[in-house]
Amino acid sequence: AAAETADKPELPAVDAEVKDAAPAAAATGVKYTNYTVVDGDDLIGISIRENLSVAEIRELNNIPQDEDVKPGMVIKLPVPAL
């Protein structure tokens, strides 16, 4: 019975962390859009066009250092604030 009681307080703490994460993300005001890479696109061109660094695009989309984008790939890009 003691083990069951010890486990119960941990669950609300985990739930609270998950619930708190959504308002924190919303508070940043950052919205994202999906962009489908077309023939001729590369990370440098997209970064210049979107006013982002290549590193930001890589990090946001989990693109390894030794890879570039390919046509048909869908990547997430932040929507500029108004």
- pLDDT, one tens digit per residue, over 17-31 is 444 444 444 556 789
- Give the pLDDT of the chain (82 residues) as one tens digit per residue: 554 444 444 444 444 344 444 444 455 678 999 999 999 999 999 999 999 999 999 999 999 999 999 999 999 999 987 7
Helix-then-strand count for the chain, H and E: 3, 2
Triad 58, 26, 61: Cα angle to 5° = 15
Side chain identity, residue 45:
G
Distance CA 55, CA 51 (A): 12
Measured N-to-C along each axis, helices 54-61 and 43-50 cross at an angle, to the nearest 10 degrees, of 110
Nearest to 46 by CA among 60, 66, 26, 29: 60
Nearest to 78 by CA among 68, 67, 53: 53
